[in-house]
């Protein structure tokens, strides 16, 4: 019987959700990108930890740093304002800095990744705490459910940061054999929770739906020149005269 590691199963489930979303369900594009990042991370964790593909080991921290960035952009585009490349491009500095650390300061990677997850998780929680005018695109009919959903996503991000800290503690304690187990449990739980929560209909606001709700403007009618009206009037008069004769 085929047995798959937990991160691989998580990646397959999230990948199926992304395909289903792109095929028919109407969801913001940022949510699809966030789910894709979660699925990609689960796949890379499985390939590195369970299938021994060491070539992807330097890639794993970089793709991990993409998950909280995509989560924040999905949250911001859904509840605050649409994504603007000129303004939000700066968030790519997190994976870029992680790549720099992987190449030139690999010792710092174990500290950088948890900090990125904690920073973006805390940023989402602070935005949710402000509420009201701070979330102008939130749907009123959804009530407080979106806040609870995204609070769960933020908690899953912070849970991933705790897992990295726990892995470092286990290694220092002389029990590195527990590392794959911790990675499997925390990665699968965090990624799957984030993916499932983001699929809820109330997990996003009106940021991607204003265009859909815009009323269809009637197409302007083509104006007929006055000369055409005069020509039609003259032809009618000639036709009436000929019938009288």
How do residues 142-176 score in pLDDT, each as one tens digit? 677 778 888 888 888 888 888 777 877 877 788 77
Domains in the chain: boundaries: 6-213
Q: Which pLDDT score, from 0 to 100, does residue 3 have?
A: 76
pLDDT higher at 103 or 20: 103
Mean pLDDT in residue range 115-133 = 87
Distance CA 36, CA 30 (A): 10
State residue 56's pLDDT score: 93
Residue among 127, 171, 179 at smallest CA distance from 153 = 127
What are the percentages of helix, strand and coil residues in the chain, rounded to 5? 75, 0, 25
User: What would the pLDDT profile of 206-227 be if each residue is shown by its tens digit?
Assistant: 655 544 444 444 444 555 445 5
Of the candidates 94, 92, 5, 71, the one whose C-alpha atom is nearest the C-alpha of residue 44 is 5
Judge contact between 35 and 19, C-beta under 8 A: no
Q: How many other C-beta atoms lie within 10 A of the C-beta of residue 73?
A: 18
How many CB atoms lie under 10 A from the CB of residue 137? 19
| Residue 211 pLDDT | 45
Backbone angles phi, psi at 13, to 5 degrees: -65, -45
What is the reported pLDDT for 228? 47
Asked if residues 35 and 21 have their Cβ atoms less than 8 Å apart, the reply is yes
- Could you tell me if 115 and 86 are in contact, meaning their C-beta atoms sit under 8 angstroms apart? no
Phi, psi of 24 (to 5 degrees): -155, -35
Mean pLDDT on 169-198 = 72
- For residue 212, the model assigns a pLDDT of 45
As a whole number of angstroms, the distance between CA 21 and CA 112 comes to 32
Alpha carbons 191 and 106: distance in angstroms, whole number: 24
Q: Which residue has the higher pLDDT, 9 or 28?
A: 9
pLDDT at 9 over 70: yes
Report the candidate in 198, 152, 160 with the shortest Cα–Cα distance to residue 33. 198
pLDDT of residue 163: 78
Q: What is the pTM of this model?
A: 0.76
Tell me the pLDDT of the chain averaged across its residues: 77
Q: Is the pLDDT of residue 187 over 80?
A: no
């Amino acid at each position: 019987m085929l047995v798959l590691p937990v991160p691989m199963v998580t990646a397959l489930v999230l990948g199926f959700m992304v395909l289903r979303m792109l095929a028919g369900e109407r969801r913001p594009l940022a949510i699809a990108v966030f789910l894709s990042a979660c699925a990609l991370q689960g796949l890379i964790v499985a390939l590195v930890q369970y299938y021994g593909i060491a070539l992807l080991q330097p890639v794993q921290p970089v793709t991990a740093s993409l998950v909280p960035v995509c989560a924040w952009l999905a949250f911001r585009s859904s509840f605050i304002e649409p994504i603007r490349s000129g303004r939000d491009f700066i968030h790519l500095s997190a994976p870029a800095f992680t790549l720099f650390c992987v190449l030139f300061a690999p010792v710092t990677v174990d500290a950088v990744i948890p900090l990125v997850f904690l920073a973006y998780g805390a940023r989402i929680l602070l935005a949710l705490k402000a509420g009201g005018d701070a979330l102008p695109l939130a749907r009123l009919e959804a009530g407080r459910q979106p806040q609870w959903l995204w609070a769960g996503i933020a908690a899953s991000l912070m849970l991933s940061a705790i897992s990295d800290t726990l892995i470092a503690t286990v290694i220092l304690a002389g029990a590195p054999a527990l590392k794959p187990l911790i990675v499997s449990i925390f990665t699968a739980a965090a990624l799957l929770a984030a993916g499932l929560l983001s699929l809820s209909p109330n997990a996003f606001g009106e940021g991607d739906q204003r265009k859909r709700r815009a009323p269809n403007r009637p197409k302007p009618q083509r104006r007929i020149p006055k000369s055409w009206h005069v020509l039609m009037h003259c032809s009618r008069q000639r036709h009436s005269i000929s019938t009288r004769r």
